[in-house]
Chains A and B, each alone.
Chain A
Amino acid sequence: MAAAEEKKAEEKKVEEKPKVEFKFPPNETQLGIIAGIIAALITIFTGLPAVIKAVGMIFAFVWCADSVRKTSKYGLGTGVPSIGVMGTGYGVVGALMGLAFARFGNIGQFYPGVLVGVVFMGLIGLVSGFFSNSEKYIALKIPRLERAMMELGMAGTLALLLEISIVTGSLNFDAVVTRVMETGVIAFMFILSGMAMFHPYNACLGPDERRERTLMVPVEISGLLCIILGFALLILGTSPWGPWDPALLIVFGVVIWVVFYTRFIKTCMKECYATVGTGLIKTIE
């Protein structure tokens, strides 16, 4: 019932022509394919500058947030955050596996081996989605939950791999363990990636939620992530491109964050019922 209402509202929105000029999102399948391909391509070319990896990371996060959105719309019976954390958890395991396989089949700076982790996490996501959705087992009965969980596993793995490759500048397992895992940077990545996945829909939850507006939030959070990862890269000094690489990443992060944050807040203030300086509440009838 609520879902049907929401759909109606969405259609109305489309007819009204959204005032926001931000026209990025294609539909969910297209977004998944585009983001997946771009992120996967950027992941396997490890020698790229950090800024380009950051672009791939943003795509992966937008994909994740979109998956979370289309699943959580139907009500999960537990908070929205749980599915985002699941995506991040799969991402960490998948990233570990991808890193372990990175040294197989590489050609120079080109590591297609990492995609093994992505594929396996897609498989695990599919299995967990099947068990959650199947009538015989948990029976959540959410349309296309299997696909959404698969996408979450894959996109989470890609995002984590890109973050790791930004900080270490390589996909060498030992380097990653000493620089990311044992220093605890992984804890920060874990939680901020999770936030980038579930915070957008969780923060915009409500009957008048709008996809374009929601999808600005993962981009904004990725900007924050870029800033802090840039500092980490600067301090660890692992970039093959010297200190300009992290500096560029920080500037990129700041620009992305400022643009999308101000745009999101302005959009919210424009699209809400009213934005008033102060005021009393309606009296109870």
Chain B
Amino acid sequence: MPLEVVLLFAWTLVIVFLAFLACHFEDNESDIGSQSNPNSQVQLAPQVGQVHRFFNKAISGEPLSNALYQGTAGMIAWMLLYKLEPLVPDAKWKAAVVAIPLAVGASALIHMIFATTAHCGRIAAQKRFEQPIYLDVFYGHLIPIATHGFLTTFSIVSIAYIQSNLGALAGDPRLNHPFALPLLAFIWGITVGSIGSSTGDVHYGTEREFQDRPFGEGKRVIYHGRITRYADCGIRTSKDISPFCAKFGSPATGLTFGLIILLENWRTLIGMKLGGYLPVLPANLPLVPTVHFATAEGNMAAVWGIILGLIIIAAWIVGNMIFVKWIRAKCGPFVGA
């Protein structure tokens, strides 16, 4: 099959869609477990006398914990593919269909193990604040955490699989990404986590965690630790966070990661097209990439990619300025006590 440029772009769009799903569920999963930055308030709450029924999933910052789930899943998927692909040499996708879900399932188990150690350890270390371990909170959150984590990990490992086979899927295996599947899964795990923690947490931390405070103000230092512990009916657990954040915070986070993947991959692909590197690859391009290989078209492709990237950067700066000006004019100065 000759190289089909349109297939390259199509697979990139599939990757973008998966990225959107991945970051959406990543944010929701971290909200259910109350992970990352807003967790500081859940951790602080018993110290200011606010015993709560939240899940305290302090695995680490989201980038590293997601790198853990996705790196583990990528590693197990790689092991399974290593064994299964020789069995079906004509249709390697069959191996992937079996390997990726199994690997992601195993990684979800590991996710649950880490979640339990974090929750029990942190609550046990708060003995003097009279914070008990509620077993229903403990058991009841594990499955939601694992399922949301499963969806994130599944999307990321699929992205890694597609990218490490992108060339083969589009017709020429020489265009595969030079990194192996587990490494790509690890890389996107770090990225998805840092996006989920820097954008998605805002909706949970500023709004949902302090919902009985006025809307439209940053949360003052005196509020810290005094989190909202009552739900619409009864006492709030971390599961009640998810439906709220799924309406705005999580999709916006998903959009962030989707945009990043879209801009990065399209920039490179369009650069390759403008530079003349696609659709006819140089005949002497080795199957295993070597760094010393280069052509004039390749350099031009890199130049075009950088130029497009600089245009995008300038556009974001202008866009942010316009947005900040507009939202300030819309909302006006701070009113209230």
Contacts and interface: CB of A to CB of B under 8 A. Distances in A.
**Do any CB atoms of chain A lie under 8 A from CB atoms of chain B in the complex?**
yes
A225 to B, nearest CB: 10
Given A273-B130, A275-B132, A277-B135, A195 B60 contact: yes
Main secondary structure of the interface of B (DSSP, over half): helix
Contacts of A228: 72, 75-76
Interface stretch (A25-33, A38-46, A132-140, A263-271): A263-271
A205 B183 CA distance: 30
B61 interface: yes
B126 interface: yes
Interface string A196-239: 00110011111111100110010010001000100110011000
A105 interface: no
Contacts of A267: 124
Nearest to B123: A272
A275 B117 contact: no
Interface in A254-270: 261, 264-265, 267-269
* Max chain A C-beta neighbours (<10 A), residue from B53, B121, B134: B121
B105 interface: no
A267 B251 CA distance: 40
A85 interface: yes
B86 to A, nearest CB: 12
Interface in B82-139: 82-83, 110, 113-114, 116-118, 120-136
Classify chain A's interface size. 35 or more
Contacts of B74: 184, 187-188
B154 to A, nearest CB: 17
A235 B82 CA distance: 8
A277 B136 contact: yes
B121 A85 contact: no
Task: Say whether chain A's binding surface is mostly helix, strand, loop, or mixed.
Answer: helix
A2 B218 CA distance: 29
A281 B75 contact: no
A190 interface: yes
A282 interface: yes
Nearest to B57: A203
B68 A276 contact: no
Contacts of A199: 59-60, 114, 117-118
Interface stretch (B8-16, B174-182, B276-284, B294-302): B174-182
A224 to B, nearest CB: 6
A272 B134 CA distance: 11
Contacts of B121: 203-205, 213-214, 217, 264, 268
A271 B87 CA distance: 52
Contact of B53 (A198, A205, A277, A281): A281
A4 interface: no
B17 interface: no
Contact of B124 (A184, A185, A194, A208): A208
A273 B128 CA distance: 7
A1 interface: no
Contact of A224 (B71, B113, B127): B113
B67 interface: yes
A187 B110 contact: no
Between B58, B76, B129, the greatest number of chain A beta carbons within 10 A of the residue's beta carbon is seen for B58
28 contacts: A80-B60, A81-B64, A184-B180, A184-B184, A185-B78, A187-B187, A188-B71, A188-B182, A188-B186, A190-B186, A191-B186, A195-B64, A198-B60, A199-B118, A202-B118, A203-B114, A206-B126, A208-B128, A213-B121, A214-B121, A220-B117, A261-B117, A268-B133, A271-B127, A274-B130, A276-B132, A276-B134, A276-B135
Interface of A: 79-81, 85, 182-188, 190-192, 194-195, 198-199, 202-210, 213-214, 217, 220, 224, 228, 231-232, 235-236, 261, 264-265, 267-269, 271-282, 284
Interface of B: 43, 50-53, 58-61, 64, 67-68, 71-72, 74-76, 78-79, 82-83, 110, 113-114, 116-118, 120-136, 179-187, 189, 229, 235
Closest 6 CB pairs of A and B: A206-B125, A184-B182, A184-B180, A187-B186, A188-B75, A268-B120
Given A187-B187, A188-B74, A195-B68, 4 more contacts: A80-B60, A187-B186, A203-B58, A205-B43
